[in-house]
Amino acid sequence: IQVGGSPGGNADLVLSYTYNMMGQVEKEYLPYAKTGNNGAFDKFSPERWSVYGTGEQAYAYNLTQYEDSPLMRVSRKMGPGKAWHTSDKSVRVTYGMNSTNEVRCYKVSSSGSLIASGFYGAGKLEVIVETDEDGHRSKTYTDSNERTLLTVSVNGEDSLATYYVYDDRNCLRYVLPPEASHRLAEAGTTDISVLHSLAYSYEYDKLNRMISKRLPGCAPIYMVYDCRDRLVLSQDGTRRTADTKKWSYFLYDSHDRVIESGEILLSAEQTCGELQLAAWENEHYLPSGTRTPLQYTVYDNYKPTENVTAHPFVAAVGYDTPYTLYPSGLTTSTKTRLLGTDDWLTETIYYDDRSRVIQTLCHYPEKGLRYRHTAYDFTGNVLRKQDNIGTDILETVYTYDDRARLLTKANTWNGRFTDKITYVYDALGRLTGRNYGDKVSESLSYNIRGWLTGIESQHFSQTLH
Asked if residue 350 has pLDDT above 90, the reply is yes
**Separation of alpha carbons 278 and 413, rounded Å:** 58
pLDDT tens per residue across span 5-32: 999 888 999 999 999 999 999 999 999 9
The pLDDT value recorded for residue 44 is: 78
Type of residue numbered 101: N
Asked if residue 428 has pLDDT above 90, the reply is yes
**Separation of alpha carbons 424 and 433, rounded Å:** 5
Q: Which residues of 436-461 are buried (b: 16+ CB within 10 A; e: fewer)?
A: eeeeeebebbbbbeeeeeeeebeeee
Asked if residue 189 has pLDDT above 80, the reply is no
Banded model confidence at residue 157, pLDDT cuts 50, 70, 90: confident
**Separation of alpha carbons 414 and 419, rounded Å:** 13
Asked if residue 210 has pLDDT above 80, the reply is yes
**Separation of alpha carbons 236 and 223, rounded Å:** 9
The beta strands (E) that lie in 300-430 are given as 331-337, 344-351, 357-364, 368-376, 382-389, 392-400, 406-413, 416-425
pLDDT tens per residue across span 26-57: 999 999 999 988 889 888 777 788 888 888 98
Asked if residue 279 has pLDDT above 90, the reply is yes
Burial of 361 (0-12, 13-18, 19+ CB in 10 A): buried
Banded model confidence at residue 156, pLDDT cuts 50, 70, 90: confident
231-245: average pLDDT: 93
Asked if residue 66 has pLDDT above 80, the reply is yes
Reported as type and span, the H/E element at residue 192 is: helix 192-198
- Reduce the DSSP state of residue 236 to 3 states and report it: coil
**CB 78, CB 84: distance < 8 Å:** yes
Banded model confidence at residue 186, pLDDT cuts 50, 70, 90: confident
Reported as type and span, the H/E element at residue 184 is: helix 178-187
pLDDT tens per residue across span 107-147: 999 999 999 999 999 999 999 999 999 999 999 999 999 99
The closest of 114, 108, 109 to 190, measured between CA atoms, is 114
**Separation of alpha carbons 97 and 121, rounded Å:** 10
pLDDT tens per residue across span 69-78: 999 999 999 9
**Separation of alpha carbons 419 and 188, rounded Å:** 66
- Choose between 242 and 143: higher pLDDT: 143
**Separation of alpha carbons 107 and 122, rounded Å:** 18
The pLDDT value recorded for residue 47 is: 78
The pLDDT value recorded for residue 349 is: 98
pLDDT tens per residue across span 375-392: 999 999 999 999 998 889
Asked if residue 167 has pLDDT above 90, the reply is yes
Looking at residue 319, what DSSP letter applies? S
pLDDT tens per residue across span 287-302: 999 999 999 999 999 9
**Separation of alpha carbons 394 and 411, rounded Å:** 7
Angle subtended at Cα 336 by Cα 330 and Cα 337, rounded to the nearest 5 degrees: 170
The pLDDT value recorded for residue 188 is: 73
**CB 204, CB 220: distance < 8 Å:** no
The pLDDT value recorded for residue 262 is: 97
**Separation of alpha carbons 172 and 166, rounded Å:** 4
Asked if residue 205 has pLDDT above 90, the reply is yes
- Reduce the DSSP state of residue 257 to 3 states and report it: coil
**CB 455, CB 442: distance < 8 Å:** yes
Average pLDDT, the chain: 94
**Which residues does residue 204 pair with via DSSP β-bridges, in sequence order?**
210
